[in-house]
Amino acid sequence: DTGVSQDPRHKITKRGQNVTFRCDPISEHNRLYWYRQTLGQGPEFLTYFQNEAQLEKSRLLSDRFSAERPKGSFSTLEIQRTEQGDSAMYLCASSYLTDTQYFGPGTRLTVL
């Protein structure tokens, strides 16, 4: 069990650019979550997948954000037309039968 992995670990981009992050969950975990964490705050839920189906989305997930999990394994989170307010740590977590969520190391996004 190699744990949840995320790529890249750090991303610096200019305002208006698009960015995409990848999350690889723990093998056989059918549930995958995305969270966002800004400085000094706890993580906030963005969206959730069960297998390939996106079942829940937070109001924080504006129309510039889109997430996919095409084959029920890895997931991608894309932010279009990035804004400085998108600067944050983006965290991925996965779970299975016990529903205990295990987190990856996160992707830190800086929008200049």
Partner 1 sequence: DAKTTQPPSMDCAEGRAANLPCNHSTISGNEYVYWYRQIHSQGPQYIIHGLKNNETNEMASLIITEDRKSSTLILPHATLRDTAVYYCIVRVAGYISGSARQLTFGSGTQLTVLP
The residue ranges that bind partner 1 (CB under 8 A) are 4, 31, 33, 35, 41-45, 48, 50, 55-56, 58, 89, 91, 93, 95, 97-106, 108
- Residue 89 has phi, psi (to 5 degrees) of -95, 130
The count of other CB atoms within 10 Å of the CB of residue 110 is: 13
**Least Cβ distance, residue 4 to partner 1 (angstroms):** 8
**Least Cβ distance, residue 27 to partner 1 (angstroms):** 17
**Least Cβ distance, residue 12 to partner 1 (angstroms):** 15
Cβ nearer to partner 1, comparing 10 with 15 = 10
Q: Which residues pair with 28 in a beta bridge?
A: none
Cβ nearer to partner 1, comparing 72 with 105 = 105
Q: Counting every residue, how long is the chain?
A: 112
Residue 9 near residue 72, CB atoms below 8 Å: no
Task: Supply the DSSP symbol for 28.
Answer: T
